[in-house]
Amino acid sequence: MKLKKKIIISVVPILLLMGIMTTLSVTFYLKRRLVSDIKFSIKNLAISVKTLSEFPLANYDYSLLKRNLTSVFSDRISYIIVFDAKGIIAGAVYKKDLEDSIYNRKVTGEDFLKEKEEEIEINGRVFYEISMPIKATGFNKPLGVVKIGVKQEEIYSTVMHTVFYILAFLMGSVIFSIIIVLAVSDAISKPLSQLSNAAEKIASGNFSIEIPTIETPDEIGKLTIAFKKMARRIEETLKELEKYQQELEDKIKERTQSLRLAMEKLENSRKKIEEAERISQISKVISEISHQINNPVSIILANIEMLMKTTDDEKFKKRLSTIKQASKRISSLIDKVDMLVKSDVGVRNLVDLNSVVEKLKQIYEERGVKFEVGPGKKPVFANEEYLVEALKELIDNALEAVEGKEDGNVVVKLTIDENSNEFVIEIQDTGTGMDAETLNKALNPFFTSKPDKKGLGLTIAGNIIKSHGGKMEISSKEGEGTNVRVSFKI
Indicate which CATH number applies to the domain containing 399. 3.30.565.10
- Each residue's pLDDT tens digit in the chain (490 positions)? 444 566 666 666 776 677 677 766 766 666 677 677 778 888 888 888 888 888 888 888 989 989 988 898 888 888 999 999 888 998 899 988 887 788 888 888 888 888 888 888 888 888 888 999 988 777 778 889 999 998 887 777 766 667 677 777 777 776 777 777 666 555 555 666 666 777 777 667 666 666 666 666 667 677 777 777 777 787 778 788 888 888 888 898 888 898 888 888 888 888 878 765 765 666 666 666 766 777 777 888 788 888 888 877 788 878 878 887 777 767 666 666 666 555 555 678 888 888 889 999 998 988 889 999 887 777 888 888 888 888 988 998 889 888 878 778 899 998 888 888 888 999 999 988 888 887 777 666 655 666 555 556 678 888 888 888 889 999 988 888 899 999 988 7
Is 264 contained in some domain? no
Question: Beta partners for 81?
Answer: 92, 147
What does residue 114 show for φ and ψ, rounded to 5 degrees?
-150, 165
Is 269 contained in some domain? no
> Which domain-ending residue is among 323, 341, 359?
341
In angstroms, rounded to a whole number, what is the distance separating the alpha carbons of residues 303 and 296? 10
pTM of the model: 0.37
Residues 125 and 240 in one domain: yes
pLDDT at 183: 63
Residues 314 and 394 in one domain: no
Is 447 contained in some domain? yes
- Spatial CA neighbour of 403 closest among 369, 442, 444: 369
pLDDT at 230: 76
Residues 147 and 166 in one domain: yes
Residues 329 and 377 in one domain: no
Residues 432 and 381 in one domain: yes
> Which domain-ending residue is among 192, 220, 255?
255
pLDDT at 10: 65
Residues 36 and 73 in one domain: yes
Radius of gyration over every alpha carbon of the chain, rounded to an integer in angstroms: 42
> Which domain-ending residue is among 255, 289, 321?
255
Is 429 contained in some domain? yes
Q: Which residues of 377-406 are buried (b: 16+ CB within 10 A; e: fewer)?
A: ebebebbbebbbbbbbbbbbbbbbbbeeee
pLDDT at 2: 46
Three-state SS for 212-228 is: CCCCCCCHHHHHHHHHH
Tell me the CA end-to-end span of the chain in Å, nearest whole number. 100
Is 275 contained in some domain? no
Residues 224 and 319 in one domain: no
Is 262 contained in some domain? no
Residues 121 and 35 in one domain: yes
Number of domains in the chain: 3
Residues 113 and 251 in one domain: yes
Residues 194 and 221 in one domain: yes
Domain of residue 355, residue span: 349-489
For residue 72, give every residue at least 6 positions away whose Cβ sits within 8 Å of its Cβ, in sequence order, or none.
45, 48, 49, 52, 80
In angstroms, rounded to a whole number, what is the distance separating the alpha carbons of residues 81 and 89? 7
Residues 33 and 113 in one domain: yes
pLDDT at 72: 87
Is 55 contained in some domain? yes
In angstroms, rounded to a whole number, what is the distance separating the alpha carbons of residues 440 and 484? 14
Indicate which CATH number applies to the domain containing 126. 3.30.450.20
Is 273 contained in some domain? no
Residues 199 and 71 in one domain: yes
In angstroms, rounded to a whole number, what is the distance separating the alpha carbons of residues 376 and 359? 17
